Amino acid sequence: MNIHILGGGLLGRLSALALAKQGFQVALHDSGGREGAQSAAYVAAAMLAPMAEAVDATALVLALGRQSLPLWHDIVRTLPEPVFLQQNGSLMVWHGQDAALAQQFERHLQRAHAGQSVWQRWQAADIAAQEPQLGGRFQAAFYLPGEGQLDNRQTLLALAAALDQHGVACHWHSRADAASLQQANGWLLDCRGFGAKTSWNAAAGSRLRGVRGEVARVWAPEVALTRPVRLLHPRYPLYIAPKPNHVFVIGATQIESEDDSPLSVRGGLELFSALYAVHPAFGEARLLETASGLRPTLNHDNPEIRYCPHRRTVAANGLFRHGFMIGPAVADALARLLCLLREQQSPPPQDTVNGLAWQQWPVA
């Protein structure tokens, strides 16, 4: 069976690889290049944080995140180019005056991960021993051992190389549109993220919107962190994700806006004030880049899969701020749905894979 994938950002690439491994003939079309610079994935910090996200994320998203961590290891192991994938836990820190936030955060952890020991409370001496440059700066922290991170840009490029290797026809800078691909032989898989807003919202059901996020990349040769650090803060919650070669991704604002213009002064002040408060050595860091992107978000904050047998179209969207965290499990669910369609030649009943439901798409 032929599959045309429209949108080769994160989910499009992961799905193309999963489908090619299942023996589908896959073609991928993206309006941008193989480096993925037009995708939200290109801007992302690529934190894999299914424990810390308990504060904001739904139970489904947390579960998909837990499933995806081992899948990432399997994927990265087989990629033809090296990708920085770290699973060394993450650290939540806070200033003394924000102790109430830490209590609240611990309640979120207890609620979301009841009965599981997914976090440890570190005292000042533990922080100094495990993350020496933060020694003396914080009196307590939560350590979340299961969490990890990727290098997003290496991942996008290595996935593109893997697609070439698996015989996926990648059409970068492609002007293909959904209507013409729906005429083609086979099925269309729509993975355009925010780019699918008009067609997604043309059907009844959940609404797709963009949620602006701003990040900065800095080079700080004097700072050494061995894992992502998050600051619990009432106004400027911040994460610092250390990438190879003393590059740090600082993120991210979350603004209800579909404006993807460059970083605002306010966003920069928030990010850099919080960064400096975590460690003043960041004051000497060199600013490499600032960027903004739109997170494709549905009103229930969960990802969703729809299919329309009439148009032979499957659409997946709503990965919001968790695309890296949950992408492999969503791609896995998509591959299983398309395998069922191939085997049965008729639409499967509404069903659930990896806890993620798919449903027949009401034609607009």
Ligand X SMILES: Cc1cc2nc3c(=O)[nH]c(=O)nc-3n(C[C@H](O)[C@H](O)[C@H](O)COP(=O)(O)OP(=O)(O)OC[C@H]3O[C@@H](n4cnc5c(N)ncnc54)[C@H](O)[C@@H]3O)c2cc1C
- Which alpha helices (H) appear in 79-192, and where do they start and end? 99-112, 124-130, 152-165, 178-183
Distances (CA, A) of 149 to 26, 242, 318: 28, 9, 20
Residue of 27, 41, 162, 338 interacting with ligand X (CB under 6 A): 41
Interface region with ligand X, contact rule CB under 6 A, candidates 95-103, 304-312, 315-323, 339-347: 315-323
Residue 221 or residue 244: which is nearer to ligand X going by CB? 244
Spatial contact of 342 and 30, defined as CB atoms under 8 Å apart? no
Quick check: 213 binds ligand X (CB under 6 A)? yes
Residue whose entry in the numeric block shows the structure tokens 């460690």: 279
Query: DSSP assignment of 264-314, as one string?
Result: PHHHHHHHHHHHHHH-GGGGG-EEEEEEEEEEEEETTSS-EEEEETTTTEE
46-65: contacts with ligand X (CB under 6 A): 46-47
State the Cα–Cα distance between residues 67 and 322, nearest whole angstrom. Answer: 13
Residue of 28, 38, 243, 328 interacting with ligand X (CB under 6 A): 38
Locate 224 and state its tokens: 């050494």
Quick check: 146 binds ligand X (CB under 6 A)? no
* Closest alpha carbon to 22 in 283, 337, 319: 337
Quick check: 135 binds ligand X (CB under 6 A)? no
Residue of 50, 186, 193, 237 interacting with ligand X (CB under 6 A): 193
Helix, strand, coil percent content, the chain, rounded in steps of 5: 40, 25, 35
Quick check: 328 binds ligand X (CB under 6 A)? no
2-21: contacts with ligand X (CB under 6 A): 6-12
- Here's the x/- map for ligand X, 238-277, by CB under 6 A: it reads as -------------xx-------------------------
Residue 284 or residue 289: which is nearer to ligand X going by CB? 289
Query: In the complex, which residues of this chain contact ligand X (CB under 6 A)?
Result: 6-12, 29-32, 36, 38-41, 43-47, 191-193, 195, 213, 215, 251-252, 293, 295-296, 319-325
